Amino acid sequence: MNDIESKREKLLQKMSKKWDLSELTGCHVWRTPLPGEYGRMRVGGGGRMYAHRLSYLLNKGDIPSDMNVLHQCDNPQCVNPEHLFLGTQRENVEDCMRKGRKPPTVRKLTAHSADSIRRCWNNGIKQTELAALWNVSVQHVNNIINGRKWAS
């Protein structure tokens, strides 16, 4: 086993202790402090990485710099490589909107849209962009992201 292979094995082993299998969905659910958050893991001596991105890297291969790792299962905590796929930022925005955008007749955001906003933001979509997508103020988006609304 070469260096890279053994490092990969070690990381996979470390990861496997941090998630639980959901028998209902087959998701590998990362244990995060709050539900609906992305899992993160410290890698080597360096910074922390998003667990789903790390899972993709270790199990499926490189992530081109213009691509995001998206969830088929719509569970941000999931690190099952079978549920992950690559998408462009454009597809990411469209995916977020399809899953979470409020219907035009609803005046208030639901907790579900708030989750989607946080998730889209985690995926690198700007707050101004999110405000436009959900038709709310940037301040409102900022409050949601910082957990001042729908913290649960």
Residues in contact with Zn ion by CB under 5 A are 27, 73, 75, 78, 80, 83
State which residue, 1 or 24, has the beta carbon closest to Zn ion: 24
Shortest Cβ 78–Zn ion spacing (Å): 3
In the chain, the amino acid numbered 14 is: K
Shortest Cβ 43–Zn ion spacing (Å): 21
State which residue, 73 or 97, has the beta carbon closest to Zn ion: 73
Judge contact between 91 and 71, C-beta under 8 A: no
CB atoms within 10 A of CB 96: 22
In the chain, the amino acid numbered 18 is: K
Residue 96, CA distances (Å) to 5, 44, 119, 147 in order: 35, 32, 8, 19
State which residue, 3 or 23, has the beta carbon closest to Zn ion: 23
67, β-bridge pairs: 88
Tokens (6 digits) for 22: 């959901």
Shortest Cβ 2–Zn ion spacing (Å): 31
Judge contact between 52 and 78, C-beta under 8 A: yes
Shortest Cβ 44–Zn ion spacing (Å): 26
